[in-house]
Amino acid sequence: MKKFIPLFYSLLTVLLLACNKDEIHNTEDQVGISSVVHFAVLQMSGPQYMSVVEGSTFTDPGVKAYEGSAEIPVTVTGSVNTDQTGLYILTYSATNKDGFSATTTRTVVVIAGNEMPDVDLSGKYDYVGSSTYTSTVTKVAEGTYTTDNAWSGATVIPLVFVSLDGVTISIPNQSTAYGDAFGTGTYDTGTKSLVYTISLPAFGISNSNRNWQRQ
């Protein structure tokens, strides 16, 4: 039996050496022999929708980007002119070392003045003529709202609009799937009816009324 003991330990030593040689070391950027791709992740400071009163100062809360745990540069396109009422889009983008990019946007609306107290048009609305079609209006900033549909049931057009007094509505020029849209509108506090008057120049549509009733 003794003559087999050295052979046994020799085989065990070879196996241990082989295991040590092939030992896998995982890191943030590598698992075994495979490289890990970290896509750019954008983290926005502040809200996605902001409003600022005409003539005041706008400060961009900013966006940070990370590739794994490392912060990477962010490119910002677009600007906000606080001397001109309207809707402005800021686009933030970052690209990882493998060339994959990520983007996010912030919508800033320059409003003509401060909102009157206790104004809020948020809620569920039915399309007049067919309660099958509904829309949701959400207040996203001072005097500023989004609606997931301002047109009709068959054609869905989300829009951003402004109302400072809860009666008069302004729809700043903005891009949609149907081209640029803009217009005006009114809200009747008695009947709780909301009327958008929308223009879509790309389709030859000018001042078309769309009526919605608050539920």
- CATH number of the domain residue 68 falls in: 2.60.40.10
**CA pair distance 36, 34, nearest whole angstrom:** 7
pLDDT of 188 reads 98
Q: Are residues 170 and 99 in the same domain?
A: no
70, 87, 111: which is the final residue of a domain?
Answer: 111
Q: Are residues 127 and 207 in the same domain?
A: yes
Which H/E stretch holds residue 20? Answer: helix 5-21
Q: Number of folded domains in the chain?
A: 2
pLDDT tens for the 215 residues of the chain, in order: 444 344 333 333 433 344 444 455 665 555 444 556 688 999 999 999 999 999 999 999 999 999 988 999 999 999 999 999 999 999 999 999 989 999 999 999 999 999 999 999 999 999 998 878 999 999 999 999 999 999 987 899 999 999 999 999 999 999 999 999 999 999 999 999 999 999 999 999 999 999 999 99
User: How many C-beta atoms surround the C-beta of residue 71 within 10 A?
Assistant: 12
**Tokens, residue 94:** 């970052």
88, 111, 134: which is the final residue of a domain?
Answer: 111
Collect all residues with Cβ–Cβ distance below 8 Å to 75 and sequence separation of at least 6: 92, 93, 94
63, 79, 111: which is the final residue of a domain?
Answer: 111
> If you write DSSP's letter for every residue of 121-149 in order, what string do you get?
--EEEEETTEEEEEEEEEEEETTEEEES-
**In a domain? residue 23:** no
Which residue range(s) make up the domain with 54?
A: 41-111
Q: Are residues 178 and 143 in the same domain?
A: yes
**In a domain? residue 118:** no
User: How many C-beta atoms surround the C-beta of residue 131 within 10 A?
Assistant: 12
Q: Are residues 61 and 103 in the same domain?
A: yes
Q: Are residues 206 and 130 in the same domain?
A: yes
Phi, psi of 155 (to 5 degrees): -120, 115
**Tokens, residue 95:** 């690209």
